Amino acid sequence: MTPSAVRASVSMSLSVAAAVSLYGISFGALAVASGLAFWQAQVLSLFMFSGGSQFAVIGLAAAGAPGLSIVTAAGLLGVRNGLYAVRMSAVVGPGFWKRLIAGHWTIDESTAVAIAQTEPRAQRIGFWLTGAAIFVGWNAMTAAGAMLGDALGDPRAWGLDAAAAAAFLGLLWPRIQTRQPAAVAAVAAVITALAVPTAPAGLPVLIAAAAGIAMALLAERSHA
């Protein structure tokens, strides 16, 4: 085990956590702008703890989508965490409580930092440090943002609705760097724009999700 591998893992964990935590301010502010109470925003950060799903909840709630659509969209966006968990299972190792906390902290960033390390100890450090630092930072910044958001008044005057759109684009961007996902994103975007005027709030996102799965299955068939 080389100390430099551990140092690299610690440094990557902390810089990723700092960036993500800052972004928690915008979640907190946008959540109260969307009509959530302070504690509703905080409960999402404490217990849902997955940025994409959390933003989906506040975006759809603001649009007046029914509860079932909100739960479905948040759940579908959380599916990838379950797959990360499978990859992290060996990194985390045995132990009920350890796996329970690891499960809660299994998100894009903790998984990405762990996978980026080559040595097993550096992987473990990367996963736990990133997960813990983001959990603390994200929740603290959510609280700060929610308090700030309450004081701001009209969210549109501050461009907070546009900030939410940019946040989704920022989450999408690293995933559409090759042709196939970019094409799927384009089709999903067009379908959504067509569905917005005709379908009830919350449904366009689910229609796009179904189209995404259909396109993925078609691609699998042509691979086989």
Q: Is 17 in the site for other proteins (CB under 8 A)?
A: no
Q: How far is the CB of 40 from other proteins (least distance, A)?
A: 5
What's the closest the beta carbon of residue 118 comes to other proteins, in angstroms? 19
Does 64 engage in binding with other proteins (CB under 8 A)? yes
Residue number with CB closer to other proteins (2 or 214)? 214
Q: What angle do CA 139, 141, 145 make, to 5 degrees?
A: 120
Q: Are 59 and 164 in contact (CB under 8 A)?
A: yes
Q: Does 97 bind other proteins (CB under 8 A)?
A: no
- Interface with other proteins (CB under 8 A), residue total 101
Is residue 219 a contact point for other proteins (CB under 8 A)?
A: yes
HEC profile of the chain: CCHHHHHHHHHHHHHHHHHHHHHHHHHHHHHHHCCCCHHHHHHHHHHHCCHHHHHHHHHHHHCCCCHHHHHHHHHHHHHHHHHHHHHHHHHHCCCHHHHHHHHHCCCHHHHHHHHHCCCHHHHHHHHHHHHHHHHHHHHHHHHHHHHHHHHHCCHHHHCHHHHHHHHHHHHHHHHCCCHHHHHHHHHHHHHHHHHCCCCCCCHHHHHHHHHHHHHHHHHHHHHC
144 or 209: CB nearest other proteins = 209
Q: Which of residues 111-170 bind other proteins (CB under 8 A)?
A: 156-170
Among 82, 118, 120, 136, binds other proteins (CB under 8 A): 82
Q: Is 12 in the site for other proteins (CB under 8 A)?
A: no
Q: Does 93 bind other proteins (CB under 8 A)?
A: no
CB nearer to other proteins: give 136 or 186.
186
Among 48, 116, 147, 148, binds other proteins (CB under 8 A): 48
> Residue 84 interacts with other proteins (CB under 8 A)?
yes
Closer residue to other proteins, CB minimum distance, 9 or 26: 26
Region 175-194 residues binding other proteins, contact defined as CB under 8 A: 175-176, 180-181, 184-189, 191-193
Task: Work out which of 4, 7, 11, 68 binds other proteins, going by CB under 8 A.
Answer: 68
